[in-house]
């Protein structure tokens, strides 16, 4: 099928909830993607921060194929070696004692919210409140979209779950005012992704932790987008050293196969009793095989060093572009390989022009170009994108 045929059939049968780019992707190798008409693209989006090792990474493909030939699914009512190895590896890289595996970021956050609720109401029936940040994003289930501090995600969906309040991200005074003894959980992204790549000011996460301790609330960090080496650390909380009580993960953790997870230390491991939480597919052996192979490859190939090196270079090049076009680029921010370029105008035309030049990028909140490439992106590829952006800003 050619691109037009694929697009037409999709539009005919798929519920129209996505605003899709007008290309049909066929396959990928490394950092390159190829569309149905054979055009090559350099990928700076990684399937929304998922494909940490790019495409067709041999060790991950091998692990998935071998597992598929052995056992694709068997449920959590049995033990499997690959699931054991997978949770042990997640525990090792995250430093948390216990891990629960699910299928997506929303589900990971849903589980974390449930655990915090159980923790809170177990102490006091009124301790059921959550504080989250404005411009956050936590998922599309009813609970996680309510946790998401962007009103347009709530429209037409009331009555929403109760108990959520929102504070401006990074504002310590607002946070202090919002926290009280009826709060059971404070849910924050260590760097906001969908909301426009916002890095919190120094001391913010430490203050969040301090307030949680004061009010006996659990600090939940949503590392769905920032986790798995993207920020330049295994998890972005490690940039500040402020360890949350619950950490949620998804996206890159599954090596491209759907997987989410949340993790806690032993002190919270008994909040859920057997039967309180569960899943049919979560921690499925195929996903575990992909996850384990991905995490091992990231570790063995010292990907963190590459993320820091290329991320620093990329950000410097973006800042140089900003210095050249200060009226068009109003800010450059981020950490490692989660970087944002805020524009004075809407970013959609820039995304389209990049696509025409063979670069896949993304724009979030209307005017922030978001770059979350595979973590194996090269300096030459960064130079290529910067040159393309330079031409685009020159024309605009």
Ligand X SMILES: Cc1ncc(COP(=O)(O)O)c(C=O)c1O
**Binding stretches for ligand X (CB under 6 A):** 48, 104-106, 109, 137-139, 189, 193-194, 222, 224-225, 250
CB of 190 to ligand X, least distance (A): 10
d(CA 380, CA 45): 17
d(CA 262, CA 272): 13
Beta-strand relationship, 25-29 and 32-35: antiparallel
CB of 8 to ligand X, least distance (A): 26
- Radius of gyration, CA atoms only, the chain: 21
Nearer to ligand X, 250 or 385 (CB): 250
CB of 152 to ligand X, least distance (A): 15
CB of 83 to ligand X, least distance (A): 20
Nearer to ligand X, 224 or 268 (CB): 224
Q: In this structure, are residues 285 and 72 in contact, taking their beta carbons and an 8 Å threshold?
A: yes
Residue 56 region, left (φ>0) first, then alpha (ψ -120 to 50), else beta?
A: left
Nearer to ligand X, 138 or 317 (CB): 138
- Measured CA to CA in angstroms, residue 396 lies from 325, 327, 386, 391 at distances of 10, 11, 15, 9
CB of 189 to ligand X, least distance (A): 5
Nearer to ligand X, 53 or 106 (CB): 106
CA atoms within 13 A on the CB side of 236: 28
C-alpha torsion angle, residues 269, 273, 277, 281 (rounded to 10): 80
CB of 3 to ligand X, least distance (A): 25
Q: Enumerate the β-bridge partners of residue 245.
A: none
Q: What is the DSSP string of 290-333?
A: HHHHHHHHHHHTTHHHHHHHHHHHHHHHHHHHHHH-TTTEEEEE
CB of 44 to ligand X, least distance (A): 16
Nearer to ligand X, 153 or 313 (CB): 153
Nearer to ligand X, 46 or 389 (CB): 46
Tokens of 364: 């979030």
CB of 251 to ligand X, least distance (A): 6
**Locus of tokens 């981020």:** 334
Tokens of 21: 């780019």
Nearer to ligand X, 287 or 392 (CB): 287
Nearer to ligand X, 105 or 311 (CB): 105
Give the helix, strand, coil percentages of the chain, each rounded to 5: 40, 20, 40
Q: Which residue is nearest to ligand X (CB)?
A: 105
Assess whether the previous peptide bond of 56 is cis (omega < 30° from 0). Answer: no
């Amino acid at each position: 099928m050619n691109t037009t045929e694929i697009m037409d059939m999709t539009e005919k049968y798929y519920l129209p909830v996505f605003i899709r780019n007008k290309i049909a992707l066929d396959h990928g190798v490394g950092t390159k993607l190829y569309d149905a008409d054979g055009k090559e693209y350099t990928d700076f989006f990684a399937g929304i921060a998922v494909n940490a090792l790019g495409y067709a990474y041999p060790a991950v493909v091998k692990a998935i194929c071998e597992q598929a030939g052995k056992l694709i699914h068997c449920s959590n009512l049995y033990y499997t070696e690959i699931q054991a190895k997978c949770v042990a590896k997640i525990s090792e890289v995250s430093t948390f004692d216990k891990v629960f595996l699910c299928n997506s970021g929303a589900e990971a956050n849903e589980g974390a919210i449930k655990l915090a609720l159980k923790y809170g109401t177990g102490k006091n029936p009124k301790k059921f409140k959550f504080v989250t940040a404005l411009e956050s994003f936590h998922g599309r289930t009813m609970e996680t979209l309510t946790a998401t501090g962007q009103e347009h995600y709530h429209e037409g969906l009331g009555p929403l779950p109760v108990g959520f309040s929102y504070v401006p991200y990074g504002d310590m005074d607002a946070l202090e005012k919002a926290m009280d003894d009826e709060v059971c959980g404070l849910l924050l992204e260590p760097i906001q992704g969908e909301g426009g790549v916002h890095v919190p000011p120094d001391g913010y996460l430490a203050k969040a932790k301090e307030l949680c301790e004061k009010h006996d609330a659990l600090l939940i960090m949503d590392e769905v987008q920032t986790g798995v080496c993207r920020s330049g650390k295994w998890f972005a909380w490690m940039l500040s050293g402020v360890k949350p009580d619950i950490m949620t993960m998804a996206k890159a953790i599954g090596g491209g196969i759907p997987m989410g997870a949340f993790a806690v230390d032993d002190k919270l491991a008994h909040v859920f009793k057997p039967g309180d939480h569960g899943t049919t597919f979560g921690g499925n052996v195929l996903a575990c095989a992909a996850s384990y192979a991905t995490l091992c490859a990231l570790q063995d190939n010292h990907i963190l060093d590459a993320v820091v090196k290329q991320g620093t270079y990329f950000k410097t090049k973006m800042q140089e572009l900003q210095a050249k076009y200060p009226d068009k680029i109003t800010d450059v921010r981020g950490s490692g390989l989660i970087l944002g370029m805020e524009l004075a105008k809407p970013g959609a035309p820039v995304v389209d022009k990049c696509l025409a030049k063979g670069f896949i990028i993304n724009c979030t909140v209307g005017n922030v170009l978001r770059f979350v490439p595979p973590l194996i992106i090269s300096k030459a590829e960064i130079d290529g994108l910067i040159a393309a952006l330079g031409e685009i800003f020159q024309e605009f």
